[in-house]
Chains A and B, each alone.
Chain A
């Protein structure tokens, strides 16, 4: 049966396995206690074992089922590109903070996100302006949160 969650399930299992493996290897470098016990490495190593067992069992179950190719075809590639665009914009925000400030950067992000979600230019612009005004009034003026 074609299952649209399978590619994502597979990817998360691989990430969890990689994280577990990395945690095991990196925690080898942590200092041991004076008595020679694992100390700060103990808990990450326990987690690494748990993650490896759970992700390998799920990987095995996922790969044993037929129809992975068909599940991959169900991926919404244009929307994945949109998501890439939003994440790229968010990743550029620390750089934009220096140029536009937080309010300007937030406005730009709202504008871009709304456009990627299918909004028209004018309504996206109005939403961004409203958002900037809301953040300024509520966070800065009313709650005195330093931004």
Chain B
């Protein structure tokens, strides 16, 4: 059966809706969506199964923005990079506008990623092969440095990163496997679940923050744009902004694709680095959202580059898909292009269809749904969010201990939010901390603890200089801005 059959198109559409549901609900991830679909997929025709999988992956990452816009709970870790901004846009202007920016830039970002996937799978994969732990160390550090300077206060950014990275050290250490900071509690041996932390820091903390600001009396009136039609805000205003920022969109998409094809990096890292670069340049909320959304969706296509051309998965999602390929008797790698060229071409076209049709469609439906949801009074909506936080956190591991973590981390999230600390940087610390430690330790072990080895390879040296330039440049910029005649 071909990818162009009615069955394949329907499978993609249903896959897109199924992925969107998973992506938008906290606690349910794109990986879980694909994992649960695999037992069904292996009984389907490969073209139908992969159409559905492409539909799921195309929308599940984007749909994380629906939860972020409506409730300030990112549905997927990739949306956490710009949750603050997209939620603010939704509140100040309209959710349809926020999701319009996100859906349209996600669609175009994904399209850029697919074009690069088609054009340069083999060539780009050769570059990724040159990266070792030394280069990855500097690349991850670049993400952290840009995140610290992207915070309004450097000290607060450092604290947020430090706390996030320290939380991530709980459990087995990534290089030597020594258990750390578990205090004899077996629940902490595997570390703190990232999704539970996301729900606590964004969901629970947001509800608590609303309770703290609660005043008796009528609610503040909605912004005037809340009354404009969803289509006007989503396609009209959202589309105009995306067109205006087309250069930023292209830059972020290229960066996202590049990060996506580095094995292990994935769409989360792409979104963080891209949106932090936009924050560093004092970009508006809309620009930060646009760069994060386009970058993480471009990265989804990027992760398929090493997966198809080398058989190396770029993230967990592609690892599952590669397993599917093998189960269906298709071996990914350079031979795939020689033996199954027709299949690969159809796969690419399915990607383009999913990007251009499914994301705007699912995004529009999401925007329409949120616009209805926001007519519900906040006192009821936030109560329901609290219930969803509980179910989402428990659904991950079905471990009651995670609910205690929800209390502790939710309270910490509230204190940080009220104190003006960037909670997003804490989450970024949780993502990047283990990677930074892993690459540092791997490099040190490989070179018998010789720190100078981190500068020994040309690409590593270039990345180290980029870090140094970023630090010096940002310190200089902050100094200039702090001068009294430079408000």
A and B assemble together: yes
Q: A26-B181, A118-B214, A119-B383 are in contact. Are A90 and B169 (CB under 8 A)?
A: no
Which residues does chain A contribute within 8 Å of B400, judged by CB atoms? 93-94, 97
A8 in contact with B391 (CB, 8 Å):
no
Bound complex: CA A23 to CA B169 (Å): 10
B421 in contact with A118 (CB, 8 Å):
no
B398 in contact with A147 (CB, 8 Å):
yes
B169, B378, B412, B421: the one within 8 Å of A43 (CB): B169
Is A72 close to B, CB under 8 A?
no
Bound complex: CA A8 to CA B436 (Å): 30
Residues of A92-147 whose CB lies within 8 A of B: 93-94, 97, 102, 105-107, 109-111, 113-119, 123-124, 127-128, 130-132, 135, 138-139, 142-147
A82 in contact with B211 (CB, 8 Å):
yes
A5 in contact with B420 (CB, 8 Å):
yes
Residues of A59-76 whose CB lies within 8 A of B: 61, 76
**Could you give, for residues 440-451 of chain B, a 1 whenever the CB lies within 8 Å of some chain A CB and a 0 otherwise?**
110010001100
Most chain A beta-carbon neighbours within 10 Å: one of B155, B165, B404, B416: B155
Stretch of B21-29, B73-81, B108-116, B119-127 on the interface side: B21-29
B21 in contact with A130 (CB, 8 Å):
no
B448 in contact with A109 (CB, 8 Å):
no
Is A2 close to B, CB under 8 A?
no
Q: A90-B204, A94-B401, A131-B384 are in contact. Are A117 and B391 (CB under 8 A)?
A: no
Bound complex: CA A110 to CA B173 (Å): 38
A117 in contact with B169 (CB, 8 Å):
no
* Min CB gap B322→A, angstroms: 24
Residues of B144-177 whose CB lies within 8 A of A: 153, 155-156, 158-159, 162-163, 165-166, 169, 173, 175-176
B214 in contact with A117 (CB, 8 Å):
yes
Which residues does chain B contribute within 8 Å of A20, judged by CB atoms? 162, 166
Q: How large is the interface on B (under 10, 10 to 19, 20 to 34, 35 or more residues)?
A: 35 or more
B394 in contact with A79 (CB, 8 Å):
no
Which residues does chain B contribute within 8 Å of A97, judged by CB atoms? 394, 400
B386 in contact with A15 (CB, 8 Å):
no
Q: How large is the interface on A (under 10, 10 to 19, 20 to 34, 35 or more residues)?
A: 35 or more
**Could you give, for residues 11-29 of chain A, a 1 whenever the CB lies within 8 Å of some chain B CB and a 0 otherwise?**
1110110011001001100
* Min CB gap B250→A, angstroms: 36
* Min CB gap A60→B, angstroms: 10
B211 in contact with A79 (CB, 8 Å):
yes
Is B382 close to A, CB under 8 A?
yes
A113 in contact with B382 (CB, 8 Å):
yes
Which residues does chain B contribute within 8 Å of A1, judged by CB atoms? none
Q: Which DSSP category, helix, strand, loop or mixed, fits chain B's interface? A: helix
Q: A35-B449, A58-B156 are in contact. Are A107 and B211 (CB under 8 A)?
A: no
A31, A135, A143: the one within 8 Å of B387 (CB): A135
Q: Taking beta carbons and an 8 Å cutoff, which residues of A are in contact with B? A: 4-5, 8-13, 15-16, 19-20, 23, 26-27, 30-31, 33, 35, 37, 39-40, 42-44, 47-48, 50-51, 53-55, 57-58, 61, 76, 79-80, 82-83, 86-87, 90-91, 93-94, 97, 102, 105-107, 109-111, 113-119, 123-124, 127-128, 130-132, 135, 138-139, 142-147
Q: Taking beta carbons and an 8 Å cutoff, which residues of B are in contact with A? A: 21-22, 25, 28, 36, 153, 155-156, 158-159, 162-163, 165-166, 169, 173, 175-176, 178, 180-181, 204, 207-208, 210-214, 216, 377-380, 382-384, 386-388, 390-391, 394-395, 398, 400-401, 403-404, 406-407, 410-412, 414-416, 418-421, 433, 436-437, 440-441, 444, 448-449
> Can you pick out 26 interface pairs between chain A and chain B where the beta carbons lie within 8 Å of each other?
A9-B420, A11-B419, A15-B412, A27-B180, A43-B173, A43-B441, A50-B162, A51-B162, A53-B158, A57-B155, A58-B155, A76-B213, A80-B212, A87-B411, A90-B204, A102-B394, A109-B386, A109-B387, A117-B210, A128-B383, A128-B387, A131-B383, A131-B387, A138-B21, A143-B36, A144-B36
User: 19 new A-B pairs (CB below 8 Å) besides A42-B441, A135-B387?
Assistant: A9-B421, A11-B419, A23-B181, A30-B178, A35-B449, A39-B176, A40-B180, A42-B440, A50-B158, A50-B162, A58-B153, A83-B211, A90-B390, A102-B391, A111-B383, A118-B379, A131-B384, A131-B387, A144-B36
The 8 closest A-B pairs by CB, nearest first: A114-B383, A94-B400, A8-B419, A110-B387, A117-B379, A54-B158, A8-B418, A51-B162
